[in-house]
Amino acid sequence: MKEELDPNKKTILVVDDEKPIIDILVYNLKKEGYNTLEATDGEMGLNVALEEKPDLILLDVMLPKMDGLTVCKRIKQSYNVPILMISAKDEEIDKIVGLELGADDYITKPFSVRELMARVKANLRKVEDEKEQKEKDEGKKNNKIVVGDLELDLEKVEVKVKGEVKSLTPKEFELVKYLAMQPGVPVTREVLLEKVWNYEYYGDIRTVDVTVCRIREKLGDSTKNSKIIINKRGIGYYLASK
């Protein structure tokens, strides 16, 4: 018999082929006051996600029937939901691919349950903050930020370089937007983790570097001789104001 979900609680879908991990995560998620849904393979995870529309998804990369990266891509094509990828791999390329396909966060096994719960809360809160910000932005007439050759359309969530539209993921757009609101001012990786990813703790600063690398590539900004997103050695990143 299917467990009835409390409409007053956020719902988290856990997709993992290891039942002990599902049991641990479900136990702790329920303890934190969330509804939970479970799936043990990629196809089941995709179907449950599209049918139930959970508020957040914990998605393992290595899954039978359909891998987690494919599941992530297909879900994001249907509707926007925070997806936290979980993997036993700690290779940079896996993290890059996951973020590129629309994943909002990435954590590697073995992980602490406390850290995972913190990321779940942070990503859910980020969605709420974005909704509030969007409502505020809708009340403004000027929904654009222009810095040098860069133009951000906050309403369309669109970035242009010299008039040419560049395709960025929502997380990449948020990072550029945060830097664009204070051009020329270096921002530390720790601050970017807090403001863009909403981490309440000292997260993996490589996440920032990986994301900046992908943004530079998409904007046509050379990593070795960057003209748009500049690396201030020993501090962090800033957006060139000219």
Ranges of residues in the chain with a pLDDT under 70 are: 1-3, 89-95, 98, 135-142, 200-203, 223, 242
> Any idea what DSSP says for residue 214?
H
Single out the residue of 95, 64, 99 nearest to residue 83, CA to CA.
99
pTM assigned to the model: 0.60
Q: How far apart are CA 90 and CA 107, in angstroms?
A: 9
Q: Give the pair of three-digit tokens for residue 12.
A: 């988290």
Query: What pLDDT does 149 receive?
Result: 86
Q: Which helix (H) or strand (E) holds 83?
A: strand 83-87
Length of the chain, in residues: 242
Query: What pLDDT does 1 receive?
Result: 43
- Residue 45: φ, ψ to 5°: -60, -45
Q: How far apart are CA 61 and CA 68, in angstroms?
A: 4
- CA distances to 97, 168, 228 from 224, rounded to whole Å, are 22, 21, 12
Q: Give the pair of three-digit tokens for residue 196.
A: 């863009």
Q: Which domains does the chain have, with CATH numbers?
A: 11-132 (3.40.50.2300), 141-239 (1.10.10.10)
Single out the residue of 118, 75, 21, 231 nearest to residue 105, CA to CA.
118
Query: What pLDDT does 242 receive?
Result: 67
Query: What pLDDT does 201 receive?
Result: 54
Q: How far apart are CA 52 and CA 200, in angstroms?
A: 29
19 touches 83 (CB < 8 A) = no
